């Protein structure tokens, strides 16, 4: 098995759905896609973030008119249904089914034309960046997918190659939701290093926010989520 990874970086105003993550800094999403042919696609998305920012985008999450999947200026032509599977204070889970597609410039649908044995797709969104990890049986047509995505991508987004390598593991945080996310790890590590958890504290939340160049609310949220996940992991191990 091989993993092909690349990142699309969007300008603000380029993509309606990408704008939600640019405008709401705490939002992060992981989506798993399945696609057997260029006419049908499934997407399972887990979205996390500050409760107030999640609440602000609830309507858009289920709005089937929003251009969510296309990497070009064209909308997808087909039937789309999105359902809310889970709604928690700091998390949403949605399932989308796209059928009867006649035209859609979505990465999984583009890839379906090159990989007859199928592929798995994981997409992560944060800020301006959308990263795709594509798991395929062999690397024979990866170059064709690389050229197709880079060639079709809208002018207000950029393509950057991450890696192509044999896959010895494929860690999905959607399948393991209690893992501490990388952005939470960064904030937590800085907080520990700067003495935020010492008694008395050696640094304030405002000072951490300045050092990390992040809004105070984002730093506070990521610290709360990281410590909450650590507590859950500890309880799970002791149970």
Kindly report, residue by residue over 37-54, the tens digit of the pLDDT: 888 999 999 998 888 999
174 lies in some domain? no
CA-CA distances (angstroms) from residue 160 to 25, 28, 111, 125, 157?
22, 20, 17, 15, 10
Q: Which residues pair with 129 in a beta bridge?
A: 9, 126
pLDDT tens track for 155-204? 999 999 998 888 766 665 554 555 677 788 888 888 888 888 888 889 99
**CA angle, residues 2, 67, 175, in degrees to nearest 5:** 40
Q: Based on the fold, state whether residues 16 and 95 are members of the same structural domain.
A: yes
Residue 213: how many CA atoms within 13 Å on its side-chain side? 0
User: Is 0.75 surpassed by the pTM of this model?
Assistant: no
* Host domain of residue 99: 2-166
Name beta bridge partners: 136. 2, 119
Residue 191 and residue 152 in one domain: no
- The string of pLDDT tens digits covering residues 99-124 is 999 988 999 999 988 887 778 899 99
Please indicate, yes or no, if residue 177 is contained in any of the structural domains: no
Q: Are 51 and 90 in contact (CB under 8 A)?
A: yes
Residue 67, domain member (yes or no): yes
* Residue 237's pLDDT band (cuts 50, 70, 90): very low
95 and 151 co-located in one domain: yes
Closest CA to 61 of 30, 96, 105, 23: 96
DSSP secondary structure string, 196-215? TTSSS-SS-HHHHHHHHTS-
């Amino acid at each position: 098995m091989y993993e092909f990874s690349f990142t699309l970086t969007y300008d603000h105003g380029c993509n309606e759905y990408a704008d939600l993550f640019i405008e709401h800094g705490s939002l992060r999403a992981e989506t798993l896609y399945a696609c057997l042919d260029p006419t049908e696609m499934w997407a399972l998305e887990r979205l996390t973030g500050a409760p107030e920012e999640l609440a602000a985008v609830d309507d858009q999450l289920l709005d089937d008119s929003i251009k969510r999947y296309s990497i070009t200026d064209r909308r997808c032509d087909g039937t789309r249904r999105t359902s809310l599977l889970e709604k928690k204070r700091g998390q949403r889970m949605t399932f989308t089914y796209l059928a009867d597609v006649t035209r859609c410039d979505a990465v999984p649908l583009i890839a379906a034309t090159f990989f007859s044995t199928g592929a798995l797709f994981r997409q992560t969104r944060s800020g301006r960046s959308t990263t795709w990890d594509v798991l395929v049986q062999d690397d024979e047509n990866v170059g064709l997918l690389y050229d197709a995505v880079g060639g079709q991508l809208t002018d207000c987004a950029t393509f950057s190659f991450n890696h192509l390598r044999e896959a010895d593991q494929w860690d999905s945080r959607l399948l393991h939701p209690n893992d501490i996310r990388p952005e939470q790890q960064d904030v937590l590590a800085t907080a520990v290093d700067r003495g935020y958890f010492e008694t008395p504290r050696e640094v304030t939340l405002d000072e951490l926010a300045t050092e990390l160049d992040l809004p105070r609310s984002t730093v506070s949220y990521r610290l709360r989520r990281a410590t909450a996940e650590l507590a859950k992991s500890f309880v799970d191990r002791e149970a």
